[in-house]
Amino acid sequence: MAGRTAAISVNVIADAAKFKAGMADAERAAGSFQSQMGNLAKGVAGALGTKAVIDFGRAAVDAAMDDAEAQQILAQTLRNTTGATQDQIDSIERYIGKTQKATGVLDDELRPAFGNLVRATEDAQEAQDLLNLALDISAGTGRGLEGVSIALAKAYDGNATALSKMGIETKDASGKALEFDQIAKNLADTFGGQTAVAAETAAGQMRIAKATFEDF
């Protein structure tokens, strides 16, 4: 993503007067995707003017660089904590991409949350299961995904205080602390399916559309 965006954007930023020629060069170098981008850019230029296109190009390059950096940070976390191979890392990136498209939660939020959980569990599959649970809790409570993921990670390591402060029961009727597996089961019983329900609402559909545009 970062390479393609930079190939398109660099000419826009360097010299607005050469925008059209730069787009033609980019199309020849990178094929149909760049051709589609060129058509979009021309439409944006006509509607908003050259300065807006230049600003958009700069923002796109910055966003692409940030995205690439976040991918590398998560990849290194996975290597360090689970010994993940590149194929496994690629599979997790595909999961994050599909989750963003299905929920409207940006990968900018999903990657750090996944990183919090994989550091706690040292297991990619368990971290993925907990991220799905965190998404349901976030959707059901309105709390931010990162905060929920941190609370779950701490509870996994034996400290359920953060979950308790969120109003989640972490003790049984006698006051004895629950095991994490029981806490997770209770949370799934309470919040299971909330992400899917939220995605089907008008607001959810708008978030998905916005996430698709921001990723583009």
Q: Report, as an integer, the average pLDDT of 193-212.
A: 90
Contact status, residue 109 vs residue 211, Cβ threshold 8 Å: no
Tokens 């998560």 label which residue?
74
Per the structure block, which two tokens stand in for 94? 């595909």
Contact status, residue 54 vs residue 13, Cβ threshold 8 Å: yes
* Residue spans of alpha helices (H) in the chain: 2-14, 19-30, 32-48, 50-82, 86-103, 107-121, 124-141, 145-156, 161-165, 180-191, 194-200, 202-215
Helix (H, G, I), strand (E, B) or coil at 192: coil
Sequence-distant (6+) residues with CB within 8 A of 145 are 105, 109, 110, 113, 134, 135, 138
pLDDT tens-digit readout, 153-185: 999 999 999 999 988 989 988 889 999 999 999
Q: Report, as an integer, the average pLDDT of 127-147.
A: 96
Prediction pTM value: 0.69
